[in-house]
């Protein structure tokens, strides 16, 4: 792993890649599952080039990579995720309300959290949400679902309600 990170760092230095080529926002999120598992996330984002844009709406989205920490009592789980998220933004000057949806992939270190058997390390990360962007800030509220889609039994997915704030550089 160290060698891979060193090669990546050298490659970026040699090619002169700008940090903003890969990341344009950082996100902090906090939420709770239906069965009271506390959820904490930190993520980095990169907006897509919009698919369509006019004076009233923009159809676009972003990639989000996140580190996730789940805990309930003395039980915990740590994960990473990568998701493309598609959004419909309503253009109102500097104020942009939106709705969004996405499906990505995640990996968790444990197959249990509290009394939940999530059966596998790999899961889909599904989300639907709404929020608004104002200047460099994005405030969102999402419903997220982590599940292995029945590929491994039992498939006790996790349903989460989560709020987030992002800062765009």
Out of 24, 47, 75, 145, the active site residue is 145
Out of 119, 147, 164, 166, the active site residue is 147
Which residues are CB-contacts of 109 (< 8 A; sequence separation ≥ 6)? 77, 78, 79, 121
Out of 24, 47, 120, 159, the active site residue is 159
Active site annotation includes 145: yes
Nearest to 149 by CA among 119, 115, 127, 129: 119
The enclosing H or E element of 140 equals strand 137-147
Decide: 88 and 127 in contact? Cβ < 8 Å.
no
Active site annotation includes 147: yes
Give catalytic residue positions.
Answer: 145, 147, 159
């Amino acid at each position: 792993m160290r060698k891979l990170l060193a090669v990546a760092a050298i490659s970026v230095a040699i090619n002169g890649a700008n940090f903003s080529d890969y990341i344009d926002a950082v996100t902090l999120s906090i939420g709770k599952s239906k069965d009271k598992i506390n959820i904490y996330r930190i993520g980095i984002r990169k907006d897509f080039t919009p698919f369509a844009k006019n004076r009233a709406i923009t159809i676009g989205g972003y990639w989000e990579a996140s580190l996730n920490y789940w805990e309930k009592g003395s039980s915990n789980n740590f994960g990473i995720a990568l998701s493309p998220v598609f959004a419909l933004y309503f253009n109102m000057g500097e104020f942009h309300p939106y709705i969004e949806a996405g499906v990505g992939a995640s990996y968790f270190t444990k197959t249990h959290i509290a009394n939940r058997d999530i059966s596998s390390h790999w899961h889909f990360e599904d989300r639907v949400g709404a929020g608004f962007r104002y200047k460099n800030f994005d405030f969102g509220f999402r419903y997220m679902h982590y599940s292995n889609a029945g590929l491994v039994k039992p498939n006790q997915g996790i349903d989460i309600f989560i709020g987030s704030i992002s800062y765009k550089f």
